[in-house]
Structure 1
Amino acid sequence: MTRITFYGGAQSVTGSNYLLEVGDVRVLVDCGMFQGSSDAEEKNYEQFPYEPSELSAVFISHSHADHTGRLPKLHKEGFRGILYATPPTLDMTFIALPDNLSLMTVEAKKANHPALFSDEDLQGIKGLAQGVDYGKEIQLGPDFSAVFHDAGHILGSSIIEFRAEGKKIYFSGDLGNPPTPLLQHFEYPLEADYIVVESAYGDRIHEDRSTRKEKLRSIVKETISKGGTLMIPSFAMERTQELLFELNAMHNAGEIPGIPMFLDSPLAIKLTEVYQKYPEYFNKESQYIINSGDDLFNFPGLTYCRTSEESKNINAVVGPKVIIAGSGMSAGGRILHHERRYLSDPNSTLLFIGFQAEGTLGRKIFDGEKEVSIFEEKVSVHCRVEAIGGYSAHADQPTLLSWIAKGAEGGHLNKIFTVQGETTSATTLAELITAQFHVPAVVPTPNETVEL
């Protein structure tokens, strides 16, 4: 008997958490945090609805918090099996989780309740981790095995293929948005029987990616010509590395003047060092550039600011400059200090390269508010505000359908489950799949169990 229970990621973008049972063997796919919703904290603190000590293994698709954030809590509640992921995923997970713990500890003290997990729990789950490269088979039991395939979403991200009792079951994880500057194209499911597919953009088509580099170059040059500061709130993982790659390429081609640029984010710097460690995960074009002697993420004029003192020193740099800092939605981090200083400057520019969630400072500025509060201080917004939309690392509707089409070849496909999307996007994608491939596609409900 094979069955899946959808404990997280069902009718929700976040909290990815799926229990796969094959005979007596129980494994988990992802153990992510719920984020963004009013009941997210409550859900994160709830006891797991299964017994963690009975799990043989946990498979992690990639290192984003909505796929990894509750791993230490899983250890806290008794998990002692093996944690499987690609080596880059493990490296980035165990750089990001301590950062999450620091933030959670501060918030928990304010709210007068314990943090979700402790450093002891974090070290405990880290001790169970085992890195596995793409294409290497992991034996889990009689007639039950797993393989990681490249998902092209962020460094080390994976599609997880399970072979169980003669059936092939694919979990997409988060699928990438090819072609990307750095990573290889995602792999496809082959002769699938069942597919669990993400649907974050199941009802949308992305802006043309080819225009984003031109727009970035234009914004950099225009800000420089005015003598202003270009502030880019950026997510530490993947978004920052793609941005550095593109700025490096422009610098090498002489397309932008050589001015001071700063990566002002200790977390982004650590994660960039992980990228530098695994060039074999990059696409051929990026590997060729590296082999020619170029550092993809560094160039003359770029300064990595690790300490708060180095961050403060940026203020002393007179004239045009570029500052890349977290957080990506201006919800915290060092970007706030720079925004407080330069938002009121009409010669400066604030450039958004990622989604700005409702209620965040970034969203307020993006929506056109002319006065915002930063560190309880009123700050006028007179700078230019721009956004580039081609940086999404998620597959859009046509890309998801093309991925499903490959899985449907061979005529084995019995059923598809659309997850990790808002109800509208998951439902839209499911309806399109059913109409196009004549295969039942459904949006599972939270905690629903399905026998395969």
Structure 2
Amino acid sequence: MKLTFYGGARTVTGSNYLLEAEETKILIDCGLHQGGYVCELDNYEPFSYDPKSIDALFVTHAHIDHIGKIPKLYKEGFRGKIFSTPPTKEFAEELLLDSGDLLAREAKKCGKDPIYSTEDVSGVLSLWNTEKYHKEIVVKDVKGLFYDAGHILGSSSVLIEAEGKKIIFSGDLGNMPAPLIKEYEKIEGVDYAIMESTYGGRVHEDPAERKSLLEDAIEDVVQKGGALLIPAFAMERTQELLYELNNLVENGRIPEIPIFLDSPLAIKLTAIYKKYEGDADYFDKESMNLVKSGDAIFQFPGLHPTLKTKDSREIKKTPNPKVIIAGSGMSQGGRIVFHEREYLPDEKSAILFIGYQVRNSLGRKILEGENPVEIMGKTTPVKAKVKAIGGYSAHADQPLLMRWLKPMKTTLKKVYLVHGEEDQMGPLAQKLKDFMAVDTYIPEIGESVEL
């Protein structure tokens, strides 16, 4: 059986793995390359395999770096089956349409055709099947199974069984403790693990402290009379933020100031969260109990969702102090860049990063102290205070990655580290060799291995 790493090798974005069994070819994820301008990345390159030859695609979760090239796969001839959990399909529909609009605008700037069309998204959805956790999926001589990865609502690790071997693809593994969703599941009896390593060289701040750090950041701008900008990913991070802000407001820990949710996509995705919020397959006991008690966990006094562009433009007319939550989470587009251009030059204001900032993104540049920065062609000085809360990461850190792998140790033949930058992969590989005596390998893009 052959495994080829077509994406997500020695980099964080563009996850795409091809597993070839005796009769069957399956893909795990088919993600977009992110960080920098779309036209400069590999997204326009043809696939290194024939999309028509693929029997099935298993999707770990609906982040664009895992699903963003599925419509391109369809456009180039893929007509196999797609499998994911039910929430992942619902999120994917919204995210692929939103990403398609953004990609079309970017393509126009550099004189290229869009990577995919709305019709391609419709075609993808027609092939998409859903299955809950622990339900066996059979594709010819291959069996698949989803386990909860604890990363976002509906996220999965994918267990593939073929030719008498068991291979686990971790997908993105969640941080813990985390609000809203359950922790990742314990998995045993695996021969090979393909494991993410986004934070393989780090130990996160205690997630339990993040609410108090958020409280401090808000109180700071209240005292100074500034605006707090929070670039947030539309899915999971925004809902976690709303959940914790709800708690802070309802318990009187922060003053009731205007809090703008300035992201149409996040507003749409939050509606999907509300659909599943009473489902014990996905949500943890604490959030389930709050829902049962009648608490609207994503709604609180002072929250202003702004769907329309004209409402977004009016935000600057609202006197400070205020909080503005907007996408994109890496400041690569979306409404947040307009607010950054407005408020980064203001020393009374602050910008708070609560998610991973990929190399070359505007968010990464601001976080690493670049000053001034270029925003939409305009040189913008950074006088606002720059802050980050690591505890909001939705990715497991080194101890949690090792904990996920530990139950597999007795049967595990080899671990392949993916979805990470080399400065994070190296320390994790060494730790696994030293403390778990696990054979660990870091593949290159395009490399094939025999399992």
The TM-score range, normalised by the shorter chain, is over 0.9
Shifted more, 365-374 versus 24-33: the winner is 365-374
Give a deviation string over 1:309-331, Cα, whole Å, max 9, x none: 11122233234221111122333
Q: In structure 2, do the counterparts of structure 1 residues 319 and 397 end up closer, same or farther at CA, with 3 Å as the change threshold?
A: closer
1:423 matched to which residue of 2?
422
Amino acid at match of 1:334: R
Matches within 5 A, 1:13-412: 13-36=12-35, 41-142=40-141, 144-279=142-277, 280=279, 281-368=282-369, 371-408=372-409, 411-412=410-411
The answer on whether the counterparts of 2:416 and 2:441 sit within 8 Å (CA) in structure 1 is yes
Instruction: Name the Cα RMSD after superposition.
Output: 2.0
**Unpaired segments of 5 or more residues in structure 1?**
none
The answer on whether the counterparts of 2:31 and 2:64 sit within 8 Å (CA) in structure 1 is yes
Q: d(CA) in 2 for partners of 1:360 and 1:10?
A: 19
The answer on whether the counterparts of 1:418 and 1:427 sit within 8 Å (CA) in structure 2 is no
1:10 matched to which residue of 2?
9
SS in 2 for 1:83: strand
Amino acid at match of 1:353: I
Amino acid at match of 2:343: Y
Q: In structure 2, do the counterparts of structure 1 residues 20 and 260 end up closer, same or farther at CA, with 3 Å as the change threshold?
A: same
Amino acid at match of 2:79: R
The answer on whether the counterparts of 1:427 and 1:442 sit within 8 Å (CA) in structure 2 is no
Q: Kindly state the Cα deviation for residue 42 of structure 1 after the two structures are TM-superposed.
A: 4.8
Amino acid at match of 2:327: G
Q: d(CA) in 2 for partners of 1:367 and 1:276?
A: 36
Q: In structure 2, do the counterparts of structure 1 residues 129 and 227 end up closer, same or farther at CA, with 3 Å as the change threshold?
A: same
Amino acid at match of 1:101: G
The answer on whether the counterparts of 1:61 and 1:159 sit within 8 Å (CA) in structure 2 is yes
Q: d(CA) in 1 for partners of 2:47 and 2:361?
A: 29
SS in 2 for 1:390: helix
Q: Kindly state the Cα deviation for residue 138 of structure 1 after the two structures are TM-superposed.
A: 0.6
Q: Kindly state the Cα deviation for residue 370 of structure 1 after the two structures are TM-superposed.
A: 5.4
Q: d(CA) in 1 for partners of 2:381 and 2:448?
A: 52
Q: Kindly state the Cα deviation for residue 40 of structure 1 after the two structures are TM-superposed.
A: 8.0
Q: d(CA) in 2 for partners of 1:449 and 1:292?
A: 52
Q: d(CA) in 1 for partners of 2:106 and 2:173?
A: 32
Q: Kindly state the Cα deviation for residue 252 of structure 1 after the two structures are TM-superposed.
A: 1.3
Q: d(CA) in 1 for partners of 2:193 and 2:219?
A: 46
Shifted more, 63-72 versus 323-332: the winner is 323-332
Q: In structure 2, do the counterparts of structure 1 residues 365 and 138 end up closer, same or farther at CA, with 3 Å as the change threshold?
A: closer
Q: In structure 2, do the counterparts of structure 1 residues 40 and 401 end up closer, same or farther at CA, with 3 Å as the change threshold?
A: farther
Q: In structure 2, do the counterparts of structure 1 residues 357 and 26 end up closer, same or farther at CA, with 3 Å as the change threshold?
A: closer
Q: d(CA) in 2 for partners of 1:350 and 1:15?
A: 28
The answer on whether the counterparts of 1:233 and 1:352 sit within 8 Å (CA) in structure 2 is yes
Q: d(CA) in 2 for partners of 1:190 and 1:31?
A: 26
Give a deviation string over 1:328-378, Cα, whole Å, max 9, x none: 233322223323333333332222222344544434443445544444445
Shifted more, 104-113 versus 241-250: the winner is 104-113
Q: In structure 2, do the counterparts of structure 1 residues 433 and 357 end up closer, same or farther at CA, with 3 Å as the change threshold?
A: closer
Amino acid at match of 1:177: N
Q: d(CA) in 2 for partners of 1:97 and 1:39?
A: 15
Give a deviation string over 1:288-314, Cα, whole Å, max 9, x none: 111111111111110110001111222
Q: In structure 2, do the counterparts of structure 1 residues 331 and 148 end up closer, same or farther at CA, with 3 Å as the change threshold?
A: same
SS in 1 for 2:383: coil
Give a deviation string over 1:254-291, Cα, whole Å, max 9, x none: 11111221100111111111111112211111111111
Give a deviation string over 1:198-254, Cα, whole Å, max 9, x none: 111112211222222111112212322333322212121211111111100111111
Equivalent pairs: percent with the same residue? 50
Q: d(CA) in 2 for partners of 1:320 and 1:71?
A: 42
Q: d(CA) in 2 for partners of 1:145 and 1:5?
A: 19
Amino acid at match of 1:231: L
Question: Number of residue pairs matched?
Answer: 448
The answer on whether the counterparts of 1:58 and 1:83 sit within 8 Å (CA) in structure 2 is yes
Q: d(CA) in 1 for partners of 2:76 and 2:366?
A: 41
SS in 2 for 1:127: helix
Give a deviation string over 1:14-52, Cα, whole Å, max 9, x none: 211111122111111111112237898452222212222
Q: d(CA) in 2 for partners of 1:294 and 1:406?
A: 37
Q: In structure 2, do the counterparts of structure 1 residues 382 and 90 end up closer, same or farther at CA, with 3 Å as the change threshold?
A: same
Q: In structure 2, do the counterparts of structure 1 residues 362 and 198 end up closer, same or farther at CA, with 3 Å as the change threshold?
A: closer
Q: d(CA) in 1 for partners of 2:251 and 2:322?
A: 19
Q: d(CA) in 1 for partners of 2:244 and 2:231?
A: 16
**Unpaired segments of 5 or more residues in structure 2?**
none
Q: Kindly state the Cα deviation for residue 174 of structure 1 after the two structures are TM-superposed.
A: 0.7
The answer on whether the counterparts of 1:417 and 1:430 sit within 8 Å (CA) in structure 2 is no
Amino acid at match of 1:310: D
SS in 2 for 1:20: strand
